[in-house]
Every structure is written in structure tokens, then in C-alpha cells.
Structure 1
């Protein structure tokens, strides 16, 4: 197989005016960018009417402030230095500009993840559902590459073309396998552009599809035998994958593929205060993005949700005196965020504007009872043995009993 310069369609380079661009990269003629990724000339603001901005759009001001004062060495292809990336993720202040924390937890975890990506090793973020794996991978890609949109979403139906490349079948039938008939995958685009690509839920992909990454990670090349060529990765390319270590319907990674990743395990928050901070911060951000009416902080109810989830998750009450059964649900911070956000919407539109126990009772009951038989028993026992005995939780107990029946 010869080593040739990657074809335009494979590399994602701009087409000539008026030529279709199968990769979706920005076209120099000024035509719209269907991916919504940032224009190379600069990061755009949040487009009007967009429900959720990409990280590089939402935090463009913070990224610009950090970049302006980042005089530390940057690995090839990186927009920021490793120190600046860690500052962006963990928060702080840069020349008077506050940098909001994107990941609340052990700083060393972030440092190890960033250091891994500065080498030729791919990064695997591993943890139970709801431990901010996707959130962290998006912000790593935004800070390092300036683009978090190169994404492969793993499912049971993911095929090998999502990792390698596909074909425009209309062109393939009329022209045969040519440069213009090839449709680059996000992985191929990341290789040719020297960017990070995110592979979400890697273990949900079939094992043979997962193993399509082996050559990419070990040789940093992607053969295209139909064209007698190959794509070689540019400096700055790397892979961030996420996977659940406790979930149904997953396919274990082969030992050959696992060896090509540095694995960073993301734990659940170490303390209740840390988890309350995470939930409160994300609920506030989501409320603004969804344009929910602003309510008082409701920290008491947030702490109540976090306490219930932690006790059921750990199988013991916060004072260590009472053992409780754990339901089948993960009860992660992500689920707590969902419960509180739904409660705020209820309080704003159907309540008195203050987050109360009745507003979170339905959400928390639904989050706990995933199995209508076994989980319902666990929840009822917890309500009677723990919640009922807490004097200042009387309103919450009544609200949950009304919902549970």
C-alpha cells in the first residue's frame, strides 16, 4: 500500500467553490456550516434559538481570556497549554476574568487526563453513569482543540463506518471509489485536522467495531485500500473515549484495545457538600439555558435530594447508624440535577415560585423506582425507616407518600 497525501474528501479540506463537501467542514465560499462547529476565524456566540451551545461557544469569553494570558509551552496542535486547560476545567481567575469550574473534584484527576492527551496515548474516562464523563470530554476537546463537535456516539447499532469512513453511494455507483465519493468519519477528520475526537459510550459498540480503533491508536494511520492510500494523523490528534463500568448492555474492551488507552476513573463526589455544589452549579446553568424563571437557590431541597441519593447509593444513612437497601438505579449527580431542574420548573409554573418538597417528590420517586417491583419495596422501606424519623423532613415524607401511593 502506498503512502499518499490524503484526498480532499478524506481530509476534510475545503472544496472548490460550488463543490459538495461531504465532511461538513467550513467552506471558503461562505456557505453555511451544517455541523454548527466554530468558524476558524473565531468562536461565535450562541446562535439565536439554539437550545444548548457547544462548550467552545458557551465559554468562549473564558477561553479567550485564558489564551490571551497563556505564555506556557503548548503541545503541537493545542490551543492552550496543559496548565491553561487545567485552569479552564478546575476554575480560578485570569486577569480579573472569573473562570467557572467545569469539573468539581480531585484536581489530580484532571491533571492526569490532560497529561495523557499531551502524549500519544488515548484517554479513556471510566465510571458509573452520571459521573461527568461526557461533560469532561466535551470541555477537554473545547479547550485543547477549540472544537468539541467531532463526536462518535456509541450504540449497539454503531457500524465500522462511524470509526473509519463511508461512501456517497450515488457517486460510488457513477464514478466508482474516488476521493469525492469518500465520506470521512469524525475520527478521520480529527486525524487530518489534528484535533481531538470524542468516542462516547465506547463499550456499547459491538466489539468488532471497537477494534477498528486499534490501528488508529497504534499506528496513527487509517488505511483506505479502495483508493490505495492512507490517512496519517497530524500532530494534535488524539482520542477521548468514555465508558460505563457498571451498566447493562455493554461489550468489554479487548485487551489489545484497552492497552492503547490510559484509563482515568471518575468517581462519584467524595462528600455531600461537593455533590451539592455540583448539582447547584449545573442546575443554575441549565435554568439559564432553558430560560426558566429565576427562583431562590433552594439549597435545602438540593441538599435533601443529594442526601437521599447518597444514602441509597451507599447503603447507609449519613450518620452511619442505619443500613438501608440500595435500588437498581445509579442515583448519580446527573440524576439529581434532573430531579432538581424538573422541580424548579414545577415550582415556577405551578407553585409559588419557591422550590418545596412537593416539587421534587415526583422526580425523586421516579429516579429511585426503576424496577416497579423491587425498587418500590426499597423506596417504601427507606421512607418509613429513615425519612419518617427525621422531624424536619415531615413535608418531604408526606409529599413522597402521596406520590408513591
Structure 2
């Protein structure tokens, strides 16, 4: 059957030359990196699965970065083990759905978006999982005005992102799968096993066409909230995204993402704040791992995750302070309050952990006196 809303949309009316279209604060991956995707497609002479925009090799290159024969530089979107990306891409080329699993801040959403953009050219077929996500968000809903006026019919059907992806052979995304109620999660079982979505109200079904697949993300720390049933988990190939292996990797990730975000917000360039980025990453890694970098001092860990994503947020906030209330150079005082907010989630227990870390580690570290003073002032 033809699903309403899956037909090719008519071209948009031209925008008046006197009114410029507003620039999106955060463009979708397929728009932000359109040049790289176009260059990869032109250079890609390897076999492509049905309805894929790129071959699996080119998709992996898009995520991991590289240089094309014509000199085009593909920036890395993910810094981590190559095999992790290769397994994820290969999974999407089969009939198995992909589950990206990891602790908060391991770039699960970022990777899922870029995979969908590279494979299908559309990363927007998204279901955002929450405790209130209804079954209709995964399956379909109804235009109740038409339903009341004319009864159940194709015209009254409102397809969800997954149904649209099935009908068009595209990649759908489900974020935070374990936050979705268990009975709603199980809506995916028939879709993933039979590649079919029944519409009992119409006595019809939507069958997935070749090219369809689904990427879900889930948080390691959310186990016990809404655990996946064994039946649903079997429908996925699970790929675990690890935390950055080395401080250098994490500094590089934070610097790159902050630079991308900063350019869109007209913030100072990252190179001026590399030292502070390294200190933020060091603090987060030490408290996260429960031991100092040199392995000599054991530490208590706070209740929060202190993820790479939170480090990016702290540095971005610091750059904004430096730009609007400083001299444009990222300094210790610009990141101190952000670090305090990230570390101290439990006002009682976490504050003690933070104070002990300041006095036993930061205070004694060479070259960190300014950082120690700034953190003390922020903590007062």
C-alpha cells in the first residue's frame, strides 16, 4: 500500500530574494556535511546495498575520516575503534537492526545520526524515547478530524517515522530505547522480525522495502528502568560504544566538537583554550576512573557520569563566558563554574568528593594554581 505522507513532496515555493532563509542553529548531518557526502559519493565505486547512498566502505570513511583521491578531506565524526564502526555499518547492510549501547556521552546519538545520513541521506526519521512515548510514535496515528468525518481510511492515517522508513526503504532511528515503556518497546518486535507493520483498522499492512533498517540507542546506566525483553533484544545486533581510550583522544573529541559548536555561535576559536580543555578532560577522567592520571592517588567518584558530552558542554559554556564577559581567551575562571555544576549533582555527597579532590590533587599539581583558585572561588 502507499502510505500517506511517503510520496515525494512537491518543490517548495521559491523564497523571496529580499528575505533570506534563517540559518539553522544545528543543521542535520546530511546538510552540515553535504559537501563531504557528495565527494564521497562521487569517489565511491564500491558495491552499494539497495537504496544506500554510499557503500559500506564509504559510510565507514565518512564516520572515521580520511582523504579521498581528489584531495578532499573527510573529517572524523567518531574517534574510537575502527572495528566498532565497521560492525555497526555491516549490521545495517543485513536484515538485523542495530543497537548502540554505552554510558552517557559516548556519542551514541551522534553516531546514529551520521550513520542514517550517510546510508539514507535522511537522519530525521526519529522517535525520541521518553517515559511518555506512546505506541503511535512508533507505529502510526490518526487525523481525528478526518477519522470522525469519514471513518478509518488511508487519508486519515498519519504514519510515524518508522512506518515512513519502511515504506521508503530508509533508516529509522529510535533514541533512548530503554526509556520507552516495555509494552511500547515490543511494538518493534513484529517490525524487526517480520519486516511488516499491520494496520488492523484497515485490514492492511505495510511491508518494509529493501533498504529499510533501524538504529536504536540505549544507555548502560538505564538498565532496570525499562529493560529490553529478550525477544526484542534478539532482534538487534548490539554494538557497545566505549569511552575515549586515551586523554589525547578525548581532548581531540572535545576540541573538535566545541570548535564546530563555537563557529555556529560566533565564539572564540578552540586553539586559544587548548590548555583549559586538557585540564577539564583530566579532571573528568580522573574523577570518572577513581584514580589520578599517574595512578598514585585513588579518588572517590561523584554520582554523575562526567561524560565527554558534559566536558563539551562545560568548555562551550566557558567559551561563551570568555567571549561575552572576558577577553575572548578561555581561562580557568571560565570553566570552573561549569565543572562544579557537572561534578556536584548531589549537594551533600558530591560536594565532599569535589572538595577532597581540590585539596589533595588540584592544589598540589604544578601549573594548576590558577585553576585551583578559580574552582575554590566557584565552590565558595
Partner of residue 49, structure 2 = 75
Q: Is the CA contact (8 Å cut-off) linking 1:125 and 1:264 kept in structure 2?
A: yes
Choose 383-392 or 109-118, whichever is displaced more.
Answer: 383-392
Alignment of 1:220-369 (within 5 A): 220-247=195-222, 250-294=225-269, 296-369=271-344
Alignment of 1:159-174 (within 5 A): 159-174=134-149
Please provide the CA RMSD for this pair.
1.4
**How far apart are 1:13 and its partner, in Å?**
3.3
Q: Is the CA contact (8 Å cut-off) linking 1:295 and 1:353 kept in structure 2?
A: no
Partner of residue 146, structure 1 = 121
Name the CA distance, whole Å, in 2 between partners of 1:93 and 1:372: 48
Name the CA distance, whole Å, in 2 between partners of 1:8 and 1:164: 12
What are structure 1's unaligned runs of at least 5 residues?
Answer: 1-5, 15-25, 33-45
Name the CA distance, whole Å, in 1 between partners of 2:51 and 2:284: 42
Structure having the larger proportion of residues in helix: 2
**How far apart are 1:290 and its partner, in Å?**
1.7
- The verdict on how the C-alpha distance between 1:113 and 1:248 changes in structure 2, with shifts beyond 3 A counting, is closer
Name the CA distance, whole Å, in 2 between partners of 1:133 and 1:204: 15
Name the CA distance, whole Å, in 2 between partners of 1:141 and 1:69: 20
**How far apart are 1:50 and its partner, in Å?**
1.2
Name the CA distance, whole Å, in 2 between partners of 1:273 and 1:148: 30
Q: Is the CA contact (8 Å cut-off) linking 1:328 and 1:370 kept in structure 2?
A: yes
Aligned residue for 1:75, secondary structure, equals coil
What are structure 2's unaligned runs of at least 5 residues?
Answer: 15-19
Aligned residue for 2:127, secondary structure, equals strand
Name the CA distance, whole Å, in 2 between partners of 1:266 and 1:397: 33
Partner of residue 24, structure 2 = 50
- The verdict on how the C-alpha distance between 1:248 and 1:114 changes in structure 2, with shifts beyond 3 A counting, is closer
Q: TM-score, normalised by structure 1?
A: 0.90
* 1:324-376 C-alpha deviation (Å, 9 max, x unpaired): 00001100110000000111111111112211111110001110001111111
Partner of residue 59, structure 2 = 85
Name the CA distance, whole Å, in 2 between partners of 1:122 and 1:248: 20
Aligned with 1:7 (options 2, 19, 26): 2
Name the CA distance, whole Å, in 1 between partners of 2:140 and 2:330: 49
**How far apart are 1:31 and its partner, in Å?**
5.7
Name the CA distance, whole Å, in 2 between partners of 1:132 and 1:109: 13
Partner of residue 105, structure 1 = 80
* 1:230-261 C-alpha deviation (Å, 9 max, x unpaired): 00001110000000011488310000000000
Partner of residue 38, structure 1 = none
Q: Does 1:206 align with 2:199?
A: no
**How far apart are 1:8 and its partner, in Å?**
3.7
**How far apart are 1:163 and its partner, in Å?**
0.7
- The verdict on how the C-alpha distance between 1:295 and 1:335 changes in structure 2, with shifts beyond 3 A counting, is closer
* 1:47-100 C-alpha deviation (Å, 9 max, x unpaired): 633111000000000000000010000011100000000000000111211100
Partner of residue 119, structure 1 = 94
Aligned residues: 374
- The verdict on how the C-alpha distance between 1:295 and 1:270 changes in structure 2, with shifts beyond 3 A counting, is closer
Q: Does 1:62 align with 2:36?
A: yes
Partner of residue 152, structure 2 = 177
Q: TM-score, normalised by structure 2?
A: 0.96
Aligned residue for 1:83, secondary structure, equals helix
* 1:107-129 C-alpha deviation (Å, 9 max, x unpaired): 11000000000000000000001
Choose 243-252 or 341-350, whichever is displaced more.
Answer: 243-252
- The verdict on how the C-alpha distance between 1:31 and 1:178 changes in structure 2, with shifts beyond 3 A counting, is farther
Q: Is the CA contact (8 Å cut-off) linking 1:204 and 1:249 kept in structure 2?
A: no
Name the CA distance, whole Å, in 2 between partners of 1:365 and 1:178: 56
Q: Is the CA contact (8 Å cut-off) linking 1:220 and 1:232 kept in structure 2?
A: yes
Partner of residue 361, structure 2 = 386
